[in-house]
Structure 1
């Protein structure tokens, strides 16, 4: 377990270095208060994810679970608590600012469906290239169809994106109708690093492919979030892609 947190700290340190560099270059403005809040949220997220069984011991009731249900549910509870804290303590905060709305930006539904379709096709191609065998295990299919999107999207493209955008302030650039900022791009990179940089038993494991692939996926999900102004499409796309990856 300590090795996991060492990797987390390394990933945070790399993002912090980029933030410092961008600040020195006057590309971004930093809010120390919101930077600390964002850091605490991310560390708490990692703690909930890695220590879920101690927080929610589902294995006591279901001894044959193979996926991290406990950690993911703990993480879902966490983003719910962060959202409630923002409602309570952030003046004039509206939950739609963090993507918690069913209303989609005008003219965004059609391009969002198109991007989601391309995203699924990309997943099929990647899965076929990697030569992965289909997995029709019921627990796996249920987990992939429901959990990842409801955990990672409200966190990374929801409350954390909202807080980090207040921490790392920059101009936005328009990418096919989606207003993208530096904070969002840094979270995409952090999302990729979290999946591709590991430390275990005294050794570092670094997968350029996993970082690049997960960052690409994260960028597509960020685009969906910013283009639609909602978490609906990112959640649907994330779960759909994960499920398709098991079926192909």
Structure 2
């Protein structure tokens, strides 16, 4: 538990220069939104490891962390209810799509899925058949990561971060998506061991940061979490199934 908290705080410190640089203003309300973002990041990461730390809270007998994913997702959604600052659509938690982007978004995601599937054909290792694994990959990673690690965080940050600053305007990088993507990448490639020493894995960090940015960009452009969530779970399911066949 302590390690999860310290890791999250470490991630927040690392991305803080981007946040400070791109703040629209420094009003109290803006700082409250930033605090809400930090609280959600902490809450999500802590709830993810609660059933690992306390076996009595494990809901399902599985090698996968179903319980942690559920706790993290429900905990963050409950936080939003209590926070009550913005509407669900502001967090991209809506089925309504930006119709002018829908076809483009689907095409981009289909190309991405195809590239990933082809890479798995040549690079992945075989794994034993497991219905539990298939059901998990078809549901939980996409739900938890797209809701708690992407849509809600981006939804909060777009309210207070400006993409009109010189660096972002020139490169057309959305700072809210960038922050969420880096947090996602840190979670896959930057860790503290039991002695609180830093371990960094460049490849998973770069890969997941880029994937996170793609999904975040799709979510913002489409105005909804739907495309990212469905494609995320579908890709996880397909690649897992391929490794079993």
Quick check: TM above 0.5? yes
In 2 relative to 1, CA 76–33 (structure 1 residues): closer, same or farther, beyond 3 Å?
Answer: same
3-state SS of 1:168 partner: coil
- Equivalences for residues 222-241 of structure 1 within 5 A: 222-241=216-235
Partner of 1:182: 175
Q: Is the 8 A contact 1:192 1:214 kept in 2?
A: yes
Alignment of 1:3 onto 2:10: no
- Equivalences for residues 1-248 of structure 1 within 5 A: 1-20=1-20, 22=21, 29-30=25-26, 31-52=30-51, 54=54, 57-59=57-59, 62=60, 64-86=61-83, 89-90=84-85, 93-171=86-164, 181-202=174-195, 203-248=197-242
Q: Is the 8 A contact 1:185 1:219 kept in 2?
A: yes
Q: How many angstroms does 1:56 deviate by?
A: 7.5
Q: How many angstroms does 1:72 deviate by?
A: 0.5
| RMSD after superposition | 2.6
In 2 relative to 1, CA 13–130 (structure 1 residues): closer, same or farther, beyond 3 Å?
Answer: farther
Q: Is the 8 A contact 1:196 1:210 kept in 2?
A: yes
Whose strand proportion is higher, 1 or 2?
A: 1
Structure 2 unmatched ranges of 5 or more: none
3-state SS of 2:199 partner: strand
Q: Is the 8 A contact 1:157 1:222 kept in 2?
A: yes
Q: Is the 8 A contact 2:154 2:216 kept in 1?
A: no
Structure 1 unmatched ranges of 5 or more: none
Deviates more, 1:123-132 or 1:183-192: 123-132
Give the number of equivalent residue pairs.
234
2:87 & 2:5 partners in 1: Cα distance?
A: 33
TM-score, length-scaled by structure 2: 0.84
1:160 & 1:50 partners in 2: Cα distance?
A: 20
Q: How many angstroms does 1:73 deviate by?
A: 0.5
Q: How many angstroms does 1:32 deviate by?
A: 1.6
Q: Is the 8 A contact 2:219 2:228 kept in 1?
A: yes
Q: Is the 8 A contact 2:92 2:219 kept in 1?
A: yes
